Amino acid sequence: MIMKKNILVLSAAFFTSAWLAACNSGNQPFPEPPAATEIKETETTAEVKKTAEFSTGSWDGYTFTSPWLNLTFTFPEDCTISTEEDIKKVLGTGQEILVNNGVSNEVQYKVAEFTTAYDFMVILPDQSSNFQLVHENISIATLGKGMSASQNLDTVKEQLGALEDYGYEFNDYEDVNIGGQTFTKLSVSALGGAMLQDYYCISKGKYISSIIASYIPDSAETVEAVMAGVTTSK
């Protein structure tokens, strides 16, 4: 039970680090919004605009479809799909850890609340391992310059590395194909290998999107099966 609690705590810290990464990388005043310009919308530009607009996904049983990433995730039926309230509690726990360790502050957390959308958090049958999908609008924090997936992961590593009591160890980045798209993957371990985390990150438009798997070694096969089953949406 203690180990499961530690796994959930570290998962919360990792989730919140991902949530705050772009915000913390900016550390600059927000830019003034650009002057509005009138653009005559044609049928073609309307279709392009529709395609480019960000939107969160939806559930059909234990299958989740993300229109933004054009990906479909299928989870085992004995998993638990977290509610919005559950996710907020996890984020609150993670923020408390980061604040107590001097990694983040309340102002950054409040800003991130307005720039981040979370699609799901799914708890695996062992009741500690989980999957998360989160999207961060980075255009404000980076003054419109954008951010690569590896730059975002650099910030996550810096934040987690500051949690010395948990002994995070980081592997090198690698490019992986998920549903025909290239994600940058960061694999980490904590608590002497008792907890493993895989972070899949992609930069798309104004957003950094992250698929996060936090799990105990006994659930590695389930995590691998879920990731292998991610497909392009029909």
**Residues 90-118 pLDDT 10s:** 766 656 655 555 544 454 544 455 578 88
Q: Could you tell me if 34 and 139 are in contact, meaning their C-beta atoms sit under 8 angstroms apart?
A: no
| pLDDT higher than threshold 80 for residue 195 | yes
- Residue 5 has a pLDDT of 46
pTM comes to 0.77
Least confident of 56-60, 100-104, 139-143, 207-211: 100-104
Tokens of 218: 């006994």
Mean pLDDT of 192-214: 92
Task: Look at residues 204, 228, 148 and name the one whose alpha carbon lies nearest to residue 156.
Answer: 148
Q: Does domain 2-27+60-232 have CATH number 3.40.1000.10?
A: yes
Which residues have a Cβ under 8 Å from the Cβ of 140 and sit 6 or more positions away?
A: 26, 30, 31, 111, 115
Q: Helices then strands (H, E): number in the chain?
A: 6, 12
Report the Cα–Cα distance between both ends of the chain, in Å, rounded. 41
- Residue 80 has a pLDDT of 94
| 72: Cα separation from own chain's centroid | 16
- Residue 52 has a pLDDT of 61
- Residue 159 has a pLDDT of 79
| DSSP per-residue codes, 125-187 | TTSS-EEEEEEEE-TTTTTT----HHHHHHHHHHHHHT-GGG--EEPPPEEEEETTEEEEEEE
- Residue 47 has a pLDDT of 37
| pLDDT higher than threshold 50 for residue 48 | no
Instruction: Report which of residues 91 and 150 the model is more confident about.
Output: 150
Mean pLDDT of 105-132: 74
- Residue 32 has a pLDDT of 35
- Residue 19 has a pLDDT of 45
| pLDDT higher than threshold 90 for residue 141 | no
Mean pLDDT of 57-68: 97
* pLDDT tens readout for residues 153-193: 998 888 788 778 778 899 999 999 999 999 999 999 988 99
- Residue 163 has a pLDDT of 77
What does pLDDT average to over the chain? 76
